[in-house]
Chain A
Amino acid sequence: MSEIRASRSSDEAKSLDISPSRVQLLLDRAVELAGEHDLDVVLRRIVESAAVVAGAKYAALGLNGGVGARTTFIHHGMDAATVERLGEPPRGLGMLGQVAVADAPIRSDDLGADARSCGFPTGHPPMRTFLGAPIARGGRRFGSLYLTEKLGGAPFDLEDEALVMALAAFAACAIESAELVATEQARLDAVACRIAAEERERSRRDVLRAVIAAQEEERARVSRDLHDDIGQALTSVMLGLRLIGVPANAGADEDARVRIDELGELIAEALRSTRRLAFELRPSVLDDIGLAAALQRLVDDVAERSGMAVDAVVDGLPEHDVPSEVATVVYRVVQEALTNVARHAEASTASVAVTVASGRLRAVVEDDGAGFDPDRPVDGHLGLQGMKERAELIGGTVSDFTSRGSRTTVD
């Protein structure tokens, strides 16, 4: 014989003799609950087990808010058509509400006559006998169990109450452990998600680095080809023309001499254009001589084209110690900044200062203009975001991008 004491302290409480088969049923259900960790499955099993253990036609579980971040009403025993007809779950105004705030089980022999009830909506199946019990553990209220229509027509008794209270205790444990599992799973998912995001970011950077390197390499190659192929061909033509035009070879035709001179000037112009194209693609001076010379050339070029007074200083740079990747980034970022200043800042002067102090290279581009929207990239140029990404690849930053100085810092 098992003895289960009802938790309710009332004059009804006393030792109960509960049939071993009902206790066995409760224990079977408890073991089943203990083996389940999915919260939704746990909740459904609790309701179904409550109906079986209490011998009720209908069972339901009202879940307090905060459990699995949901407020739920789960029921058992009502056919789908009826549920459909009733629409919304009960709002807990009558008896259900009483149970929800009670610390002890509540029984009623006839809901229709009970003052605590507020009646049923139209179409609700008739329910007379009632047993409600809290699901709580360690001071935390998870929800309530509601049982109605005890099979056989008798009211729910103390034995039913004791069994349901025991099941409610198991239910509380099962809900709590399902929650713990879910929380832990969410934490693991978040960690996995973060690792995946970091992995993606790393590979994105690798791709970006490779793309930039390939782009710079290609630009350097085309720039060299412009010098070596087009430049040399134009030089050959120019020298050939000169041979036609030298006094020894020239006929008396003054008109032809003038035409040859004009062609020579055209070719010289084409050579200058070729050089400009090559410079804009990637200045060979950056690869052949270094960052300082390339920046000086850039500044002269911007000054000539924009009419701004632009100067530059490069100080403390160990020329052969600056890796090509760093030199390229600094050059491109300064180029971008100067382009922005020339196009948008309405400045009359700009200044580039590259300094190295305590192992940190800093490039500051400053102007006296009105400022501009740094987020708006100039067509075909990097824009602030592009500059930042480039700098990040070599462990640098781009900041203070306003009219009063954009700064690249490389450690």
Chain B
Amino acid sequence: MVRVALCDDHGVVRSGLRRILAAEPDLEVVGEAGTISEAVGLAAAERPDVFVMDLNLPDGSGITATATVRKVSPATRVLVLTVHDDVAYLRRAFEAGADGYVLKEAADVELVHAVRQVASGHQYVHPTLGAALLAPDAPTARLGGPGGDLSEREVEVLRGIALGSTNSEIAERLYVSVRTVETHRAHVQQKLNIRSRAQLVRFARDAGLLDPEEQGP
């Protein structure tokens, strides 16, 4: 039997969740909380297997509640149930110790499955968010690596772009024309197979071009 606790500030939502979970023969709801402090008290008293946690709580964020619950009852696993579909919330929640993340819009079909997954030691993430989490980042390459044979001038231009300079500002600094800067930049993008300014910045950062000692005077 999986012992489940609920934390959501909305009573009707809690009772709906309770009834859905209670309808499953292998799940038992051991308590409900509407605030962070109630959740922490409940976790300490009942030591549930799974805590279903909303992120918007009247006395703070469910992310804080997650961390505190995990602290007072390390064996309790937290499953976040929220309206927020930003990957950023998901990351924060997992950093705080959560093991599952379900969107409220999918609560009716995913919740029971997610509770079982989390209870059995797995992690569960709402499918579209999981995909976003795994989305490829910019190509990470090293300056000396494949495609990284940039000339000194091209490196200077790349660093300028990464520091937020305009082409004309870079041109002024390097004593060359704006068109020359544009040409250098085009070469950089071609050599690194990079399409956007954001990727250039990311590449420069990963390659250590933005490190203080690299920035020069």
Contacting residue for A351 out of B9, B105, B199, B205, CB 8 A: B199
* Chain B residue nearest to A248 in the complex (CB): B23
Residues of B contacting A409 in the complex (Cβ-Cβ under 8 angstroms) = 164
21 contacts between A and B (CB under 8 A): A227-B56, A228-B9, A228-B56, A232-B12, A232-B13, A235-B10, A238-B16, A240-B16, A242-B109, A243-B20, A243-B23, A271-B83, A309-B195, A311-B196, A313-B138, A349-B195, A350-B196, A353-B161, A353-B164, A400-B166, A407-B164
Additional A-B contacts beyond A296-B88, A313-B197 (8; CB < 8 A): A227-B83, A232-B8, A240-B16, A283-B86, A292-B88, A313-B199, A364-B166, A407-B164
Residues of B contacting A243 in the complex (Cβ-Cβ under 8 angstroms) = 16, 19-20, 23
* A382 interface hit (Cβ, 8 Å): no
Residues of A contacting B10 in the complex (Cβ-Cβ under 8 angstroms) = 228, 232, 235-236
Q: Which of A272, A353, A357 has the most CB of B within 10 A?
A: A353
CB atoms of B162 and A238 under 8 A apart: no
CB atoms of A311 and B210 under 8 A apart: no
> Given contacts A228-B56, A235-B13, A239-B17, are A271 and B89 in contact (CB under 8 A)?
no
Contact with A along B56-100 (1 / 0, CB 8 A): 100001000000000000000000000111111100100000000
CB atoms of B197 and A364 under 8 A apart: yes
* A123 interface hit (Cβ, 8 Å): no
**Size of A's binding interface in residues, CB under 8 A:** 57
* Chain B residue nearest to A239 in the complex (CB): B16
Residues of B contacting A236 in the complex (Cβ-Cβ under 8 angstroms) = 10, 12-13, 16
CB atoms of B89 and A288 under 8 A apart: yes
* B163 interface hit (Cβ, 8 Å): yes
Residues of B contacting A231 in the complex (Cβ-Cβ under 8 angstroms) = 83, 104
Contacting residue for B198 out of A232, A290, A353, CB 8 A: A353
How far is A288 from B103 in the complex, measured between Cα atoms in Å?
Answer: 17
> Given contacts A236-B10, A240-B16, A313-B201, are A355 and B88 in contact (CB under 8 A)?
no
Contacting residue for A239 out of B86, B87, B107, CB 8 A: B107
* A352 interface hit (Cβ, 8 Å): yes
CB atoms of A289 and B17 under 8 A apart: no
CB atoms of A357 and B164 under 8 A apart: yes
* A252 interface hit (Cβ, 8 Å): no
Q: How large is the interface on B (under 10, 10 to 19, 20 to 34, 35 or more residues)?
A: 35 or more
* Closest Cβ–Cβ distance, residue B96 to chain A (whole Å): 12
CB atoms of B166 and A235 under 8 A apart: no
CB atoms of A311 and B199 under 8 A apart: yes
Residues of B contacting A275 in the complex (Cβ-Cβ under 8 angstroms) = 83-85, 105
Contacting residue for B197 out of A228, A285, A366, CB 8 A: A366
Residues of B contacting A297 in the complex (Cβ-Cβ under 8 angstroms) = 86, 88
* B46 interface hit (Cβ, 8 Å): no
CB atoms of B88 and A289 under 8 A apart: yes
CB atoms of B16 and A235 under 8 A apart: yes
